[in-house]
Amino acid sequence: MSFKDSKITHSELVKKLDLRNKKSFFGDNFFKALVIGASLYTLLMVALVLFALSEGSIPIFLEEGINFITGTNWNAVEGRESFGALPYIIGTLVSSAIAMVIAVPISVGIAIFITEMIPKKLGTVLSFVVELLAAVPSIIYGLWALFVFRFWIRDYIEEPLHNSFGDYISIFARAPFGLDVFTAGIVLAIMIIPIITAVSREVIKAIPHSQKEAAYALGATRWEMVKTAILPSSKTGLMGASFLGLGRAIGETMLVTLIIGNAIGMAAIPTSLFSQSQTLSSIIANEFNEASNDLHLSALIGLGLVLFIITVFINIMAIFIISKVSKSYSNLRE
């Protein structure tokens, strides 16, 4: 099309391209090298991380064996060393699960609201605000939670729940004081909502108008349109967005350290929503600086390796689920 539009003749064009070819030969190669270099860099970094973590955690695996994964003791006192990662694996998974349960529905809701429910201009303003929130450093959320938010949670959510159900339902059993897995999960949710929302919005925006209009044409209400036209075709993208959020929640460190209560050993396995706990990254942050001996240091690096494996596992699962969902969706369309 562009050939027809332009006023230059064919021969002139050939000449121009020919001239440019000589110069752009270097540009092409340079670009190719740059891109290959960049991707090699990523691979190299992952390999180096894996190597450093594995090498650093050899002493602890030699000492503890499988007990390092399944053990619940965490004792760095000289002469009584014993290290088990299980409580922190559980703490990481529980706090991230709470965050996901809260964050995903809210984020998808905000994304649908921005793209479908309100005028475009207002939507632009709102998405700008959401993106602004995504740029807030997590330590800000953490300090705000420590000094302000945890009192609201304690007084308006945890205490009523504990007083009404605490005696009957074990997950509300412990007397709450606002520094626990529940608060950590909620604040993590607040932290990842902007990210999930921003990506979800782009996903929903990409759905062709014709689909939505078709739904309306069949007499669908707005909710029915969302249910039949938007959600099915954006499922994969929304899942990708959620896993992006999950990745951040699992690795988050300082925010969690400030509000999860940092219990240790057996006490870090949450028995109720209002239990103190500890995540893999928070115990590393807590103890790495003052690790008392080489075995302690190796145990903390071992926790890093466990975190790395969990992250990789979740990402692989995400790819698997997404490919399955998108396949079933394309089957449906056929």
List residues near another protein by CB under 8 A: 73-80, 146-147, 150-151, 175, 177-179, 257-258, 261-265, 267, 276, 278, 282, 285-287, 289-293
Rounded to a whole number of angstroms, the minimum distance from the CB of residue 278 to another protein is 8
Rounded to a whole number of angstroms, the minimum distance from the CB of residue 187 to another protein is 15
Query: 74: part of which helix (H) or strand (E)?
Result: strand 74-75
Rounded to a whole number of angstroms, the minimum distance from the CB of residue 83 to another protein is 10
- The CB density around residue 138, as the number of other CB atoms within 10 Å, is 18
User: 74 or 243: whose CB is closer to another protein?
Assistant: 74
Give the 3-state secondary structure of residue 282. Answer: helix
Please list, in sequence order, all residues whose beta carbon lies within 8 angstroms of the beta carbon of residue 72, skipping any fewer than 6 positions away.
Answer: 84, 86, 87, 265, 266, 269
Rounded to a whole number of angstroms, the minimum distance from the CB of residue 267 to another protein is 6
Rounded to a whole number of angstroms, the minimum distance from the CB of residue 105 to another protein is 30
Rounded to a whole number of angstroms, the minimum distance from the CB of residue 289 to another protein is 4
User: 286 or 311: whose CB is closer to another protein?
Assistant: 286
User: 4 or 80: whose CB is closer to another protein?
Assistant: 80
Say which DSSP state 288 is in.
S
Nearest to 92 by CA among 299, 300, 307: 307
User: 197 or 275: whose CB is closer to another protein?
Assistant: 275
Judge whether 186 and 98 are in contact, CB under 8 Å: yes
Burial class (CB in 10 A: 0-12, 13-18, 19+), 218: exposed
User: 110 or 179: whose CB is closer to another protein?
Assistant: 179
Q: Record the tokens describing residue 120, joined without a space.
A: 């475009």
User: 18 or 290: whose CB is closer to another protein?
Assistant: 290
**CA dist., res. 282 & res. 289, Å (int):** 12
